[in-house]
Structure 1
Amino acid sequence: MRFTVKQFIVPNFAKKIAILSVSIFFMGFFVSLLLEAGWGSDPFTFMNESISQRLGITFGTWELILNASLIILTVLFAPELIGFGTLENMIFIGYIADFFRWIWKVSGIHDVIGFAANPPLWLHVCVFGFSIFLFIISAAVYMNARMGLSPYDSIPKIVNKGLKIPFTVLRMCYDASACVIGFLVSPYSINQSELYLPMIGAVIMVFFLGPAIGLVGRFMQKHIFKEDTNEISS
């Protein structure tokens, strides 16, 4: 299958591109808070943070480098999965997170909520809980805009084409592999809590992101993109 105009210029394009852009912005914003809290985010973020620290480059720069590599596979084997959402995700989330981490640092917020600052437990729980809940909602909105998958999310779709493995199992193995890579390259000592705590966010993602995507999708289809349903039924 080749690229088509329809996968970029979708029904309700103006509305969807606006919703997509807002959700991408908030995904980057809440990633910055999750990285500050130090209790983890999604497996891809955990892996990229570990690698970027090991290489001594910014999180956003490494994420863009890896995404640029992965999108080559998507172009070759599943170009139909690419859309404006693919490009916005791969380019902006990491740099938005870097920008706000810089804001937290220069404003002194890093010294209050940062993991190394050892904030009070109640504050740590509030920042982490607030951030991961809204990150999951933002990610669900992004996915339900249906304007293309991120390069990272496209890979298991490609692999699943040639394997008779339930996609859920394949996806869990894929995310687990990202976590293992994050462990192996982490600059922290294996005995330090900094290495284990980021798994909290990854585990929460495994259990709650799927249901959130379903709930948000039903809401958006009923109240925001109901024109799509009318077009399909007509």
Structure 2
Amino acid sequence: MIEEETHPHQFFERIIRSLVSLVGVAILALGATLCKVGNVGLDPFTAINLGISDKLHLSLGVYQLLANIVIIIFVLLLDRKKIGIGTVFNMVLAGFLIDWFSTLYSTMFHYQPTLLTSIINGILGLLVFTLGTSLYMTADLGVAPYDALAPIASTRLNIRYLYCRIVQDIAFMIGALIMGGPIGLATIIISFFAGPLITFWDQHVSEKMVNQLVDFSKEPSGKKIGHGIDVAGKSTYNLVKGSYIHTVEIQKKLSHFSDQELEQKTRQVRQTATQARRVLRTSFAQLLLLKKEQNRRKKSEDRQD
């Protein structure tokens, strides 16, 4: 009886996570498009695919799908647990969405590229790309075929994942250079330094969003929708407002700080950020425990009735 009651909730949660994953793939494709039109480079896999597809006179979407099919065959043979609906979204849609966004961008914007436009597109592209990656990963419905290679190699060869991933990214970057793919600063940042940005989106956007949606899936109601929108709006406003205020304060004080005071202030801000992350993780853990206890008590009351 309990399994029959929980099954619809699990199915609804699966649908919600799938939608989050789909939206994440679309957003990361938009970010990749901005990096592409800004001429600041793309992630190694997309860069090499774009270089090869140009030489073969194929669209990026068609060639990237073919490349993903080849990779996913090996993944299925070696570790099929890494494959999910999110994998399918990424391998099938990412390349075609980049093609579509690129066409849309060129139709909407007509200007002569400059250093300023490249910087703006590059920064926006990195922010949007890492946000999409965060949403896609937080949905936890499988990884892209390219991202499954390093973990499998690490397990099979008994080598640390970090080393496997570095070798993989460098190899694909070299391949992209040889094939004339777009390699630039964004390629280096995405390959080696995107972690902090993705973590930022995880903590401030993706995890909160997915937790709210999953909570809603257990007991859908109009009231929860309104509450979720209200919480999301306030969180976004407070995040932007707080970040701006802190930025202004630091800018205002920088000129008055000595080198020693500046170093001390930097340490204080770093410690505050570390403590805030710990509090956030603890709060999420406590929230999950409270939610589980509420569900347990409710199920207990239902059985008694």
Task: Report TM bin, short chain.
Answer: 0.7 to 0.9
Name the aligned partner's letter for residue 164 of structure 1. N
Q: 2: CA distance between counterparts of 1:136 and 1:26? A: 9
- Rg larger for: 2
Shift, 1:221, TM fit: 3.7
**1:115-164 alpha-carbon deviations (Å, 9 max, x no partner):** xx4x2222221111111111111112211211001111111111111223
Q: 1: CA distance between counterparts of 2:49 and 2:148? A: 17
**1:84-110 alpha-carbon deviations (Å, 9 max, x no partner):** 1000000001001111222233x262x
Q: 2: CA distance between counterparts of 1:37 and 1:214? A: 24
The two structures have a TM-score, normalised by structure 2, of: 0.63
**1:160-197 alpha-carbon deviations (Å, 9 max, x no partner):** 1122322112101101111000111217xxxxxxx6xx
Name the aligned partner's letter for residue 96 of structure 2. Y
Name the aligned partner's letter for residue 94 of structure 1. G
Higher relative contact order (CA 8 A, sep 6+): 1
- 2:3 corresponds in structure 1 to none
Is 2:86–2:144's contact at 8 Å kept on the other side of the alignment? yes
1:133 is aligned, of 116, 119, 127, to: 127
The structure-2 alpha-carbon separation of the partners of 1:73 and 1:13, relative to structure 1 and needing over 3 Å to count, comes to same
For these two proteins, the number of residue pairs brought into alignment is 211
Q: 1: CA distance between counterparts of 2:11 and 2:50? A: 33
Q: 1: CA distance between counterparts of 2:102 and 2:152? A: 33
The structure-2 alpha-carbon separation of the partners of 1:104 and 1:171, relative to structure 1 and needing over 3 Å to count, comes to same
- 1:202 corresponds in structure 2 to 187
What secondary structure, in the 3-state scheme, does the structure 2 residue paired with 1:51 have?
helix
More moved, 9-18 vs 82-91: 9-18
Q: 1: CA distance between counterparts of 2:80 and 2:24? A: 23
Is 2:154–2:161's contact at 8 Å kept on the other side of the alignment? yes
The structure-2 alpha-carbon separation of the partners of 1:104 and 1:214, relative to structure 1 and needing over 3 Å to count, comes to closer
1:159 is aligned, of 153, 157, 161, to: 153
Higher helix share: 2
Shift, 1:222, TM fit: 4.9
Name the aligned partner's letter for residue 64 of structure 1. L
Query: Could you say what the CA RMSD is over the residues aligned between the two structures, in angstroms?
Result: 2.5
Name the aligned partner's letter for residue 13 of structure 1. R
The structure-2 alpha-carbon separation of the partners of 1:10 and 1:149, relative to structure 1 and needing over 3 Å to count, comes to farther
Q: 2: CA distance between counterparts of 1:170 and 1:15? A: 33
Is 1:140–1:209's contact at 8 Å kept on the other side of the alignment? no
The two structures have a TM-score, normalised by structure 1, of: 0.80
Gap runs ≥5 in structure 2: 1-9, 216-284, 294-305
1:216 has 2:201 as partner:
yes
